[in-house]
Structure 1
Amino acid sequence: MIRVMVIDDEPAIRKDMELLMKRQTGFIVVGSCGSVQEARTIIPATQPDLLLLDIELSDGTGFDILQTLDNPCKIIFITAYHDYAIRAIKYGALDYLLKPVDEEELNEALDKVRKAISAVPQPDQLAIARQSLQQGGLQNRIVLRSQQYLQIVCFDEIVYCQSDAGYTTFFLTENRKIVVSKSIKEYEELLPAYFMRPHQSYLVNHHFIDRYHKDGYLVLRQGTEIPVSTRRKDYVIEYLTGVR
Structure 2
Amino acid sequence: MIKVGIIDDEPLARKRVKKLVKQRFDIEISFECGNVESAISNIDELKPDIIFLDIQMKSKNGFDVLDKINFIPIIIFITAYDKYAVRAFEYTAFDYLMKPFKEERFFSVLNRAISLVHTRNMEADQRQIRELLQLMSHQSDHKAGLYKTSIPIKLADKTYFIPCESIEYIKASGYYAEIIESGKKHILRQSLTELIKILDPSKFIRIHRSSIINTSFLKEIVSVGFGDVEIKMDDNTTHRVSKTYKEELFKLMGMN
TM range (shorter): 0.5 to 0.7
- CA distances 1:158-203 after superposition (whole Å, capped 9, x unpaired): xxxxxxxxxxxxxxxxxxxxxxxxxxxxxxxx4535577x9xxxxx
1:112 & 1:22 partners in 2: Cα distance? Answer: 17
Q: Tell me the equivalent position of 2:63.
A: 63
Distance 2:115 2:175 in 1: 42
SS in 2 for 1:23: coil
Q: Does 1:135 align with 2:138?
A: yes
Q: Report the CA distance between 1:139 and its aligned residue.
A: 3.2
* 1:94 Cα deviation after fit: 1.2
The reply to whether residue 72 of structure 1 matches residue 25 of structure 2 is no
The normalised TM-score by structure 2 is 0.54
The partner residue of 1:192 within 140, 148, 164 is 148
Q: Which runs of 5 or more structure 1 residues have no equivalent in the other structure?
A: 142-154, 156-189, 199-205, 213-229, 238-244
In 2, Cα distance between the equivalents of 1:32 and 1:69?
Answer: 16
Does the CA contact (< 8 Å) of 2:8 and 2:35 recur in 1? Answer: yes
1:54 is aligned with what amino acid?
D
TM-score normalised to structure 1 length? 0.56
Q: 2:175 aligns with which of 207, 213, 231?
A: 231
Give the equivalent residue in structure 2 for 1:122. 125
1:236 CA displacement: 4.9
- Whether the 8 Å contact between 1:85 and 1:137 is mirrored in structure 2 is no
**RMSD value, Cα:** 3.0
Instruction: Give the total of aligned pairs.
Output: 161
Distance 2:64 2:28 in 1: 24
In the alignment, the residues of structure 1 paired with residue 90 and residue 76 of structure 2 have an alpha-carbon distance, to the nearest angstrom, of 12
The residue that corresponds to 1:89 in the other structure is 89
Residues 96-131 of structure 1: per-residue CA shift (max 9 Å, x gap)? 001123211111011111222143662332233233
- In the other structure, the counterpart of 1:41 is 41
Q: Secondary structure of 1:60's match?
A: coil
Specify the SS of the correspondent of 2:75: strand
Q: Counterpart in 1 of 2:161?
A: none
Written as runs of structure 1 = structure 2, the 5 A alignment for 1:100-119 is: 100-117=100-117, 118-119=119-120
